[in-house]
């Protein structure tokens, strides 16, 4: 039995060499983004920081200086499900015991531009789940050694009034198989069999939803014909303090949406293959 508690830390959208276009798009979607950060491993990012989780647009400016070949070889779009941890070494030992470990913890940093003109280094350690167990993406744990340089009040206010990521959606022909690795990591008590087409995993204020291709079509407009014969990360849900604020923000950005009055659904283009939903909570 695992003693770990699943808690979503952040999600990663791989934009490869499209950082400029992607940050403009997400600003049109109503997100306030941090200035561009540059990791010690050669990748770069923009973040949308929420209450206790965040969204990361991850890419690179110069492939030649990129130490992470996995980044530019990875598919575009949603491809990172990231969990909180306070002890990366302990997590690695746990994953090793469960036989789902990848490589030992990786340490890296990125300078952070603060309003007072200083640029301290935000430092992290990450531990990945075995790549063979995660289809079409990555799942890993992140230990923030300097959380005060990530969750800052000046970055947590967004025109779309989003407070946190509420859902991470994975479409899979076999939802039991897709969810099994998290049973092994966290224990079965955190997962719920909603029905024959969905399993959910509680993850702090968020939940991870494993859904059938048919449910992916009805709920998020993702056609089964577009899905590979394996699990795929397809959608994010956002909780907003005001659906009207989100609606007006998207209108200003000239974003086409479906709006039933209770939930806003939109398809993100630009090759990212991603659906976003906004609901008031």
- Tell me, yes or no, whether 172 and 144 share the same domain: no
**Cβ(112)–Cβ(149) below 8 Å:** yes
**Cβ(10)–Cβ(56) below 8 Å:** yes
Per-residue confidence (pLDDT) for residue 29, from 0 to 100: 97
Per-residue confidence (pLDDT) for residue 239, from 0 to 100: 98
How far, in Å, CA of 3 to CA of 29, rounded? Answer: 38
Per-residue confidence (pLDDT) for residue 18, from 0 to 100: 92
Per-residue confidence (pLDDT) for residue 74, from 0 to 100: 73
Torsion (CA) 154, 157, 158, 162 in degrees, nearest 10 = 140
Phi and psi for 69 in degrees, rounded to 5?
-65, -25
Q: Which of 128, 155, 182 is the last residue of a domain?
A: 155
- pLDDT tens string 219-254: 998 766 655 568 899 999 999 999 999 999 999 999
- Tell me, yes or no, whether 31 and 147 share the same domain: yes
Host domain of residue 108:
8-155
CATH number at residue 243: 3.10.180.10
Q: In which band, very low, low, confident or very high, does the pLDDT at 272 lie, cut at 50, 70 and 90?
A: confident
- Tell me, yes or no, whether 265 and 202 share the same domain: yes
- pLDDT tens string 43-99: 899 999 999 999 999 998 876 666 666 666 677 899 999 999 999 999 999 999 999
How far, in Å, CA of 193 to CA of 189, rounded? Answer: 11
Per-residue confidence (pLDDT) for residue 1, from 0 to 100: 45
pTM of the model: 0.94
Per-residue confidence (pLDDT) for residue 61, from 0 to 100: 85
Q: In which band, very low, low, confident or very high, does the pLDDT at 110 lie, cut at 50, 70 and 90?
A: very high
**Cβ(209)–Cβ(158) below 8 Å:** no
Residue 176 inside a domain? The answer is: yes
Residue 42 inside a domain? The answer is: yes
**What's the alpha-carbon Rg for the chain, to the nearest Å?**
18
Q: In which band, very low, low, confident or very high, does the pLDDT at 2 lie, cut at 50, 70 and 90?
A: low
**Cβ(34)–Cβ(19) below 8 Å:** no
């Amino acid at each position: 039995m695992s003693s770990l508690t699943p808690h979503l830390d952040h999600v990663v959208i791989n934009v490869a060499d499209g950082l400029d276009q992607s940050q403009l798009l997400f600003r049109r979607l109503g997100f306030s983004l941090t200035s561009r950060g540059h990791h010690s491993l050669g990748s770069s990012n923009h973040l949308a920081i929420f209450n206790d989780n965040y969204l990361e647009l991850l890419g690179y400016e110069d492939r030649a200086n990129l130490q992470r070949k996995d980044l530019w070889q990875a598919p575009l779009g949603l491809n990172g499900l990231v969990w909180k941890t306070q002890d990366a070494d302990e997590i690695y030992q746990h994953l090793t015991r469960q036989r789902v470990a990848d490589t030992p913890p990786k340490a890296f940093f990125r300078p952070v531009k603060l309003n007072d003109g200083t640029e301290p280094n935000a430092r992290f350690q990450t531990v990945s789940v075995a790549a063979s167990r995660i289809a079409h993406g990555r799942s890993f744990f992140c230990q923030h050694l300097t959380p005060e340089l990530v969750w800052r009040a000046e970055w947590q206010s967004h025109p779309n009034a989003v407070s946190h990521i509420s859902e991470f959606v994975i479409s899979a022909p076999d939802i039991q198989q897709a969810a099994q690795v998290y049973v092994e990591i966290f224990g079965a008590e955190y997962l719920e069999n909603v029905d024959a087409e969905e399993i959910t995993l509680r993850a702090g204020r968020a939940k991870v939803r494993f859904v059938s291709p048919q449910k992916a079509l009805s709920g998020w407009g993702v056609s089964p014909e577009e899905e590979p014969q394996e699990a795929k990360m397809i959608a994010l849900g956002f909780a907003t303090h005001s659906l009207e604020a989100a609606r007006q923000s998207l209108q200003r950005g000239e974003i086409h949406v479906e709006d039933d009055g209770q939930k806003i659904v939109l398809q993100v283009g630009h090759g990212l293959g991603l659906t976003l939903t906004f609901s008031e909570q």
